[in-house]
């Protein structure tokens, strides 16, 4: 599978009250408005990991949408950028 040069991979770790509030399901719905690939999952420490691959501006829009929707729940976001790995289209919840 060929990975476009204009895409990036962004790993976002959300901390706060982000489990048990519909965070993953809402993230999938919000990301559905964009041409984006990725996964979202709960981590044992109570945080949520979101991995996205798309054009940087698409990722930024999704992250802004998530921050606005969960403004009272997110206490911190840690971001890491990597080269894309060719995830399948769409954002999926993984267990």
Which positions are annotated as active-site residues? Answer: 24, 42
How many CB atoms within 10 Å of residue 81? 10
**Polymer length in residues for the chain:** 95
């Amino acid at each position: 599978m060929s990975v476009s040069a204009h895409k990036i991979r962004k790993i976002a770790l959300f901390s706060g009250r982000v489990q048990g509030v519909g965070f993953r399901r809402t993230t999938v719905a919000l990301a559905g408005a964009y041409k984006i690939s990725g996964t979202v999952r709960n981590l044992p420490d109570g945080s949520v990991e979101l991995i996205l691959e798309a054009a940087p501006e698409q990722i930024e829009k999704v992250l802004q949408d998530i921050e606005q929707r969960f403004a009272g729940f997110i206490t911190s976001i840690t971001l890491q950028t990597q080269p894309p790995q060719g995830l399948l289209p769409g954002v999926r919840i993984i267990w």
